[in-house]
Amino acid sequence: MNRFRSFCYFAAFVLIHYSFLNCFTVFPYKQETIDSRLLDKKEEVILSNKGRIDYEFQNFELVLKIEAASFQETLEKRKTLETKIVHYDYRKTDGYRQLDNDDKPWNRYILGMFADIGALFEWTTIPFRTISRKKEEETISENIIKSEKTKIFDPKDLELILRAENTEFFNKNPNSDTIRIPLTEIRKFFPKTNSIEALLYYGKERIEYQNIPVAEEIRKMKLR
């Protein structure tokens, strides 16, 4: 008698355990909704100075080419309100859904009843997962929609500064748009440097910056 009772308990445990694993489970899933609404848009005409520094290596020389100009630009500013809604809901597992159309009455009614009880248990014990959260954030974006070059600067109007190891070794108003720096000079005064900083100024305004790697070219020069 005790053995039969133990077997019944064991069978009931296996049945309930199997049912919970395969039928009762519902799981939460997250949905995100993002809505963007334009609050304000306006255009502004600005004047800006821009520079450019190109570089290459020729015959173990660092060759810099500089150019700069003034531009009249139309700047579009857009202010938008972005609303993000995060909502959690529940979805049935495949095993749970299959019970509704199961051909066996035992599965459809008995296991289906236990599945409903299990699903109800999960729904009532984790309510915080179904709470929606709403977040609003204002963003401002700027975009240049029109740019017209109004003046090209003469190299003499510009100031070029070269630095290595936090030390300036070149600070001049170039006579030409092309500047050549021997790598032997860089290696002589800055043997540990890996790069050169190039800064281009128009008056007190910095209009371009470049970090130029030189270590590999100096290594090639040593192997020559």
Contact 56, 164 (CB under 8 A): no
Contact 86, 132 (CB under 8 A): yes
Alpha helices (H) in the chain, listed in sequence order: 2-19, 94-98, 105, 112-125, 183-189, 215-223
Residue 22, amino acid = N
pLDDT at 13: 58
pLDDT at 117: 62
pLDDT at 85: 78
d(CA 201, CA 194): 23
Q: What is the pLDDT of residues 107-137, one digit of tens each?
A: 555 555 566 665 666 655 555 555 667 777 8
Which residues make Cβ contacts (< 8 Å) with residue 158, sequence separation at least 6?
A: 51, 66, 68, 173, 174, 200, 201, 202
Contact 95, 22 (CB under 8 A): yes
| Domain of 152, in residue numbers | 2-223
The total number of structural domains that make up the chain:
1
pLDDT at 24: 47
pLDDT at 134: 73
Whole-model pTM: value is 0.59
Q: What is the pLDDT of residues 77-115, one digit of tens each?
A: 999 988 887 776 666 655 555 555 555 555 555 555 566
- What does each C-alpha distance from 206 to 5, 71, 109, 200 come to in angstroms? 89, 15, 78, 6
pLDDT tens track, the chain, 224 positions: 566 666 666 666 555 555 554 444 555 566 777 888 888 889 889 999 999 999 999 999 999 999 999 999 999 999 998 888 777 666 665 555 555 555 555 555 555 556 666 566 665 555 555 566 777 788 888 888 899 999 999 999 999 999 999 999 999 999 999 999 999 999 999 999 999 999 999 999 999 999 999 999 989 888 77
